Amino acid sequence: MDYYRYDILTDPETAQILVAYLSDVPFDTFEDNETGIAAYLPARADGSAVEPLLESLAEEFDFSWHKTFIPGQNWNEIWESNFHPVIVGDFCAVRADFHAPIAGVKWELVINPKMAFGTGHHETTWQCIAALEKLPLTGAKVLDFGCGTGILAILASKLGAVALEAVDIEPESYRNTVENCIANDVDNVTTRCGTLEAVEGGDFNGILANINRPVILESLPVLASLLQPGGWLLISGILLEDDEIVTNAASAAGFDKKWMNSRGNWLCGLFERSPQN
């Protein structure tokens, strides 16, 4: 697949804020680098809103950008040269299949991201990985909503979840999750391409939702209906300033907030479906 790469030159803090805004247009990968971020737009996607949005954001934030056409055959070389292993304490390491094995961690995942989001590099995925160590996954039935590379569903399976559904609206993410499950010897993840309407299960013990604020806010009532009373919802992909609006919306949908942590400018929170709802 051919892509347009938008190189956005700015400081790290502004870069992460821009990612939140740009998640609403059809970029399917964001890559942190020393000069800011690189955002990848499929050439076949409707990108008519991208450059007007960038021009609008430039009036509020300090950054510059330029666009480069990237032929599809160059993509593997690009991401392999920039993808470095991620280590979350002694709990989990994430590497690609061309990296050497990593010693000294409880769990090691092999994730080849292609054009799907979720390698552990971004603060949102990193926090979700760290949170999984403390969640009640043994024997659990889990939904990974917005699965990206499938990294969270795969780790949840390793930690004892017995049945998992992973769903993503992007065909590339669907295919990548299937590939990564095979690479990690995980065979209890059912992967689907689509929205929450594609999910066939219900009565989940837990839901993983590492997406973005607009999708989370829109989906909270449906997510509540898919959970058992007392079931948990782990969310990320929201900025520090979004805490109150997300917490209030979750409460209105029948969730109680258990905790909210942060890393950089990003939040990761655990909610529980109220037993009476």
pLDDT digits (tens, 9 = 90+) for 201-217: 999 999 999 988 888 99
Do 8 and 132 reside in the same domain of the chain? Answer: no
* Interhelix angle 12-22/50-58, nearest 10 degrees: 140
> Are 49 and 134 members of one domain?
no
Are 146 and 230 in a shared domain?
A: yes
* More confident call, 140 vs 26: 140
The CA-based dihedral angle spanning residues 251, 256, 262, 267, taken in that order and rounded to the nearest 10 degrees: -40
Q: In Å, how far from its chain's centre is CA 271?
A: 17
Q: Is residue 124 located within the same domain as residue 70?
A: no
Phi-psi region of 254 (alpha: psi -120 to 50; beta: other; left: phi over 0): left
pLDDT of residue 116: 47
**Same domain, residue pair 155 and 70:** no
Query: Radius of gyration over alpha carbons of the chain, in Å?
Result: 18
145 and 62 in a common domain: no
- Could you tell me if 121 and 46 lie in one domain? no
| 53 in a structural domain | yes
| Whether 127 and 185 share a structural domain | yes
In a domain, residue 108? The reply is no
- CATH number of the CATH domain containing 13: 3.30.70
Domain that holds residue 195: 116-273
How large a percentage of the chain has pLDDT more than 90? 61
* Higher per-residue confidence, 74 vs 193: 193
- For residue 150, pLDDT over 60 is answered with yes
Q: Determine if the pTM surpasses 0.95.
A: no
Tell me, yes or no, whether 12 lies in a domain: yes
Q: How many domains does the chain have?
A: 2
What are the pLDDT digits (tens) for 115-124? 545 555 678 8
The CATH number of whichever domain residue 174 belongs to comes to: 3.40.50.150
Q: 105 vs 121, which has greater pLDDT?
A: 105
**Average pLDDT score over residue span 112-140:** 81
Question: Based on the domain organization, do 68 and 149 belong to the same domain?
Answer: no
Helical axes 123-132 vs 151-158, angle rounded to 10°: 10
- The answer to whether residues 60 and 169 belong to one domain is no
Place of tokens 């680098």: 33
Strands 227-239 and 204-210: parallel
